[in-house]
Amino acid sequence: MTSQPAPFVIGIDGPSGSGKSSVSRAVASRIAAGYLDTGAMYRALTWWCRETAVDLADTEAITAAAVALPLAIGDDPAAPTVHVDGADIARAIRANEISALVSTVAVVPAVRTEMQRRQRELITGIAGRRGACVAEGRDITTVVAPEAPVRILLTASEEARLRRRSLEVHGASDEAAVDATRDQVLRRDRDDSTVSQFTVAADGVVVVDTSELDFDGSVEAVLAVIATRCP
């Protein structure tokens, strides 16, 4: 009897604007893997807290919402879906209001514990179904899947990250657009860095700096790392 290959997990962490979401989706498509956007899970919880009038100053209430969150998240990298209580919120969670509030929810320690538990279950399920899972976020390589055979810290200079995010949010990368994006990007990184490490690579994590790379070059750089560790 021929044994089946073990499920393969690729963990990709990085700061805002490093390109981890778009690059992770492209990489998952290229290697026919499932995809998990763990950041979308925190955004979904933030949306749910707003929808159900949870006081964002009440950490116990936020934690209770996290435990009860009726979340269904898709693993198709070409069309990732996010549903809460049956509602399609994939676009709603990208609104500026959610972006401004998500760190308030994400830095609650008990919330992170619950979401990390869910993320481990999702990664195991996705990898089991599809043979491989590309999971991206803030603490995949250090907390959620520290034993993953491929762990990558995708990073870029502050200038490059701000330019990319301003293009994504405002459709422009001139000085005014970058300034309008600066607080959101840098503040979220600063807030999230109090509960997770995504600016310095842990032992065994490969750094891929995309500052001087275009999108295709970034994807190829990550695929090159995977190729060296693929069973």
What is the C-alpha to C-alpha distance for residues 228 and 207, in angstroms, rounded to an integer?
A: 14
Please identify which residue in the block is written with the tokens 């934690």. 63
Q: Provide the pLDDT confidence category of residue 17 given band limits of 50, 70 and 90.
A: confident
Check pLDDT > 50 for residue 58: yes
Residues 6+ apart with CB under 8 A from 61: 54, 55
Task: Specify the pTM.
Answer: 0.86
Please state which architecture CATH assigns to domain 8-223. Answer: 3-Layer(aba) Sandwich (3.40)
Sorted by where each begins, the domain ranges of the chain are 8-223
Report H helices in the chain.
20-30, 38-51, 59-68, 96-106, 109-130, 158-170, 175-192, 215-229
**Residue bearing the bigger pLDDT, 161 or 217:** 217
The stretch 158-168 carries a mean pLDDT of 76
Check pLDDT > 90 for residue 200: no
**Cα dihedral 221, 222, 224, 229 in deg (nearest 10):** 160
pLDDT computed for residue 1 by the predictor: 44
Paired strand residues for 175: none
Residues 6+ apart with CB under 8 A from 117: none
